[in-house]
Amino acid sequence: MKMKIAVLTGGGDCPGLNGAVKWITKSAMDSWLSSKRATDFDVIGISEGWRGLVDVDPEDPKSCERYLKPLDEEIVRTWDRYGGTNLGTSRTNPFNPKNDRSDILLDNIKKLGIDVVVAIGGEDTLGAAYRLHKLGVKTIGIPKTIDNDLMGTDYSLGFDTAVNVITEEIDRLRTTAGSHSRIFVVETMGRHAGWLALHGGECSGAYIILVPEYSFSLEEVCSLLQERKGREIRYAIIVVAEGAKLAGKEEVIQSDKVDEFGHITLGGIAKFVAEEIEERTNYETRHLILSHLQRGGTPSAHDRLMARWYGIAAVDMILNEDFGRMASLQRGEITSVPLKECIGRLKLVDIEKYYDKERYNGRRSIIR
């Protein structure tokens, strides 16, 4: 039997995507493994996420060339070393209620002879994969998002590299912050989840960490800063998640333009916090928005390993006919969970477990 796997990457890019595509392709086409299987595979990469599968015209060779990339072991050989996604990505939602193109999607999958779709993405991309599965298409998910907020898995690709970027940048910032005795407010991504800020802040030893899951007060932030006065340390690093909220207020938004999944663009809280601190304390305060740097660069060793394991697991899942499921890491083991359990809500920071509400920082007691 021969099966055609279509693989796509959707949503925000991140390091680890190329590695996952590489290991899907290698595991599917490996001659050693093939000789022991009843199924052979072809693998095609779909350009630009769901947009590629919707916009491709299966009858037009030029369009197929534009959106479909036949993959083999030689093509993907070096991919795991590189960040971003060689397939390209988009935030296209084929099930967008304002522009539902699921009929075209289904038709194209049929015309292209695709047997199974492997979608590498976060909640949005995998939500579409679940809808597709419900319509009878064989689908498999692989979790990715630097936000690490996907339910059903302890780990989503890209998170470790992003935490490393935050740590490295704050290491750099410290020397200049120290020389000038300044406070720096560093804004991380993460949307409504505080994992990036929390882990980035903990790894870089930030003095204050502000997360969306626990609203903060500026009086408290300033009094924590003032507490340090007179000590030898003359600067402070504050990490603030883009989705962090002042008590009683909403998130700070950069633009209220919504994408196809209904998300607004968050951003700007660091500037606001920095200005308030300077005004209230007279301490010289600057801010820095790390923005898309957190999604850039080469994948960390951990992301390469996870990409490899998830890619291999996806092919195992196809062979086991575990469709409508997502590869997942749970307590250090790779397993799979129904896509349905991964969508509709986010995995947020459990404040009682992971946060010190008095010091606005990571927990200081672990074993209770």
Positions annotated as catalytic residues are: 147
To the nearest 10°, the Cα dihedral for 323, 324, 327, 328? -140
Alpha carbons 198 and 363: distance in angstroms, whole number:
10
Does 170 bind ligand F6P (CB under 6 A)? Our answer is no
Q: How far is the CB of 157 from ligand F6P (least distance, A)?
A: 12
- Residues in 263-302 at the binding interface with ligand F6P, rule: CB under 6 A: 266, 295
Residue nearest to ligand F6P (CB): 189
- Nearer residue to ligand F6P within complex by CB, 68 or 266: 266
Alpha carbons 94 and 248: distance in angstroms, whole number:
36
User: Residue 55 has which token pair?
Assistant: 């916009």
Does 51 bind ligand F6P (CB under 6 A)? Our answer is no
Does 147 bind ligand F6P (CB under 6 A)? Our answer is yes
Q: How far is the CB of 282 from ligand F6P (least distance, A)?
A: 32
List, in order, residues 6 or more apart from 365 with CB less than 8 Å away. none
Alpha carbons 166 and 251: distance in angstroms, whole number:
21
Nearest one of 242, 210, 243, 204 to 224, comparing CA atoms: 210
Q: How far is the CB of 158 from ligand F6P (least distance, A)?
A: 8
- Nearer residue to ligand F6P within complex by CB, 162 or 317: 162
**Binding residue for ligand F6P, selected from 43, 146, 183, 313, defined by CB under 6 A:** 146
Does 189 bind ligand F6P (CB under 6 A)? Our answer is yes
Alpha carbons 183 and 162: distance in angstroms, whole number:
23
Instruction: Indicate the SS3 state at residue 286.
Output: strand
- Residues in 65-124 at the binding interface with ligand F6P, rule: CB under 6 A: 122
- Residues in 209-228 at the binding interface with ligand F6P, rule: CB under 6 A: none
Alpha carbons 122 and 11: distance in angstroms, whole number:
7
Q: What are the residues binding ligand F6P (CB under 6 A)?
A: 12, 122, 145-147, 189-191, 242, 266, 295
